Amino acid sequence: MIDCTHYRRAMLAQPHDADPELGEHRASCHDCNLFTERLLRFESSFERALRVALPNPSPASDRVVPLPAKSSRAALRLQRLGRGWLAMAASVLVVVAVAGALWLSVSGPSLAADVVTHMAGEPQAWRRTDVPVPAPALLDVLRDSHLRLAAGAGLVSYASSCRFRGHRVPHLVVQTDSGPVTVMVLVHEQAPKSVQFDEQGYRGVIVPVPGHGSLAVLTQGAAEMETIEQIAHRVLDSIVWTG
Amino acid sequence: MKDQVGGNHKRARFQALCQSLRPDLLRFAFWLSRDRALAEDVVQETMLRAWKAQDSLLDEAAAKPWFLTIIRREYARTFERKRFATVDVDELVAREEPMLAAGDEQNLAELRAALFKLPDEYREPLVLQVLMGFSTAEIARELGLSGAAVLTRLFRARKQLRALCGEDTSLDPQE
C-alpha cells in the first residue's frame, strides 16, 4: 500500500503514470486528488510551453540532403544545349517548393497539436461511464460560448470550461459506441477546411463551423476516421447557437 | 538508371523523414542549448551527419532517438569547440525573448523563462520526457543513467520548476 509521499513523488516524476496502485491511492485520498489536479493543470501548460514557435527557415540552410551528382550533370547538359534558363527556373521552383514545405512543417504548433496537448493534461476526462454531467453544470460550461446542446449529441459525461489559446472553451466528453469522445468547441479558432489528425495516440478531426470557429473531436484509440467524422457531424447538428 | 531511381527514392524518403522530425528536433536543441542560432546550427549539422550515416538507421521507427543521439553528440562537440564562458541566465532569457514569448499567454512565457533557469541535469530529462515523449527507460539509455536516477531527476525538475513559477507547492513532498 503506497502512502501520500510515495504517490506524490511518483506523480512528480511521471504525471501520466497509469499504475493502478497510484490510481487507487488517488481515489481514496482527497489531498492527493487535489495535488494531482494542480499538477496536471501545470503539466498541460508546460507541454504547451515547450512547443515554442519556430522561426521560418531560410531555404539555403535547410537543404538537408546534398543534391545528387546526376542533377548537376543534367544541368550542365542543359546549359550546353543553350537552355540554361530552364535549369535556373527549375532550381527556383525547387527552392520555392522546399522552402514552402519546410515553412509548413515548422511554422509553430498546429491547432491539432495544441488540442492533443490539452487532452494529455486532462486524463481523468476519458472515463467510460453512463453517468451524465449534471444539466446545470453543462449549461454553465456552454453558456459563455453562446450555445446549448440538443439531445441528439449523446450522453455528456464530462464538461469543463478550459483555457485554450487564451480563451475559455467548452471541453466535453460524449459517450458513444466507440467509447468516450472528446469535443472542444473552438469558437475563436477558424479552420479553413476539415483536418484529420493522428498524434500521440489521439485520432480526431477539426471541422470548420461557419460563423462559429471550429469543432475538434478526438478519440483515444483506434476508431476509424470515418466514425469520428460522423460523430463530429452528429455533435455539430445538435448544437444550438444562442448568440 | 535503376540505381538513380533507387537513389532518388532514398533521398526523398530521407528528406521527408528530416522534415517530419525537424520541428521537435529544433525545439529539443533549443531547450538543450537555450540558444536559437546554436540550435539551428546543431540541427543542420545533425541532418548532414545523419545523411552520411543513414545506413546505420535500420528501422525508421527508431529515427527520433537516433537523430537525438546525434544532436546531443553534436551539441557536446560544439560546446567543446567554443568553450562557452559561464552564462548569466537572465541574459539568456533576455536574448531569447522572441522565442520565449507566447502572445497574450503570459504564464507560458514565464514557464519558458523558468525552464531556462533549471540546471541542465534536470532540464534535459524533463524535455526528453515531455516534448520528445521518451519513457524513463529511453531517457536512462540516452543519458547513461539508471532508471531510478532518471526518476529522481524528473521529480526534482518538476518540483523546482513549479516553485520557480510560483505554483502552490504546499502539497509537494519533501526530498
Contact B105 A166 (CB under 8 A): yes
Domain-located, residue B103: no
Q: Are residues B126 and B63 part of one domain?
A: no
pLDDT at position B83 over 70: no
CATH of the domain at B141: 1.10.10.10
CB atoms within 10 A of CB B170: 8
C-alpha span between A154 and A238 (Å, rounded): 9
pLDDT at position A106 over 50: no
Residues 6+ apart with CB under 8 A from A113: A51, A199
Q: Are residues B7 and B68 part of one domain?
A: yes
| Amino acid in the structure at residue A130 | D
Contact B44 A43 (CB under 8 A): no
Q: Are residues B14 and B63 part of one domain?
A: yes
pTM (two decimals): 0.58
Q: Note whether B112 and B102 are within 8 A (CB).
A: yes
Domain-located, residue B93: no
* Partner residue facing A166 (CB), from B31, B104, B173: B104
| CA A91 remoteness from chain centre | 36
- Residue B171: is it exposed, middle or buried by C-beta count within 10 angstroms (0-12/13-18/19+)? middle
| In the block, residue with C-alpha cell 511518483 | A10
pLDDT tens digits, A187-236: 888 888 888 888 777 888 998 888 888 999 998 876 788 888 888 888 88
Domain-located, residue B29: yes
| CA A82 remoteness from chain centre | 52
pLDDT tens digits, B110-133: 999 999 999 999 999 999 999 998
Boundary residue ending a domain (B29, B58, B84): B84
Q: Which of A12, A48, A58 is the best residue to mutate to test the B interface, defined by the most B CB atoms within 10 Å of its own CB?
A: A12
Q: How high is the ipTM of this complex?
A: 0.89
Can you give the pLDDT at residue A18? Answer: 80
Question: Would you list which residues of chain A are within 8 Å, Cβ to Cβ, of chain B?
Answer: 4-5, 8-10, 12-15, 31-32, 34-35, 38-39, 42-43, 45-55, 57, 61-62, 64-66, 68, 70, 101-102, 105-106, 165-166, 200
**Distance between A41 CA and the closest CA of chain B, angstroms:** 11
Q: Are residues B75 and B124 part of one domain?
A: no
Q: Where are the alpha helices (DSSP H) in A144-197?
A: none
* Partner residue facing B19 (CB), from A12, A48, A102: A102
Q: Note whether A112 and A206 are within 8 A (CB).
A: yes
Q: Which is more confident, B125 or B77?
A: B125
Boundary residue ending a domain (B69, B84, B99): B84
C-alpha span between A124 and A33 (Å, rounded): 11
Overall domain count for chain B: 2
C-alpha span between A97 and A155 (Å, rounded): 47
Can you give the pLDDT at residue B96? Answer: 86
Q: Measured between CB atoms, does B149 come within 8 Å of chain A? A: no
* Partner residue facing A51 (CB), from B18, B22, B27: B27
CATH of the domain at B14: 1.10.1740
Residue whose C-alpha is closest to residue B69's, from B46, B97, B102: B46
- Chain B residue with the nearest C-alpha to that of A201: B133
| CA B58 remoteness from chain centre | 23
End-to-end CA distance of chain A: 52
Contact B161 A46 (CB under 8 A): yes
* Partner residue facing B111 (CB), from A45, A66, A105: A45
Kind of pairing between the strands at A214-219 and A147-149:
unpaired
Domain-located, residue B37: yes
Boundary residue ending a domain (B84, B102, B131): B84
pLDDT tens digits, A14-60: 998 888 899 899 999 999 999 998 898 898 889 889 989 886 655 54
Task: For residue B159, give its domain range.
Answer: 118-167
C-alpha span between B168 and A12 (Å, rounded): 14
Residues 6+ apart with CB under 8 A from A141: A159, A160, A161, A170, A171, A172
pLDDT at position A160 over 80: yes
CA dihedral A25, A30, A35, A39 (to 10 degrees): 70
Domain-located, residue B172: no
Q: Are residues B124 and B73 part of one domain?
A: no
pLDDT at position A74 over 80: no
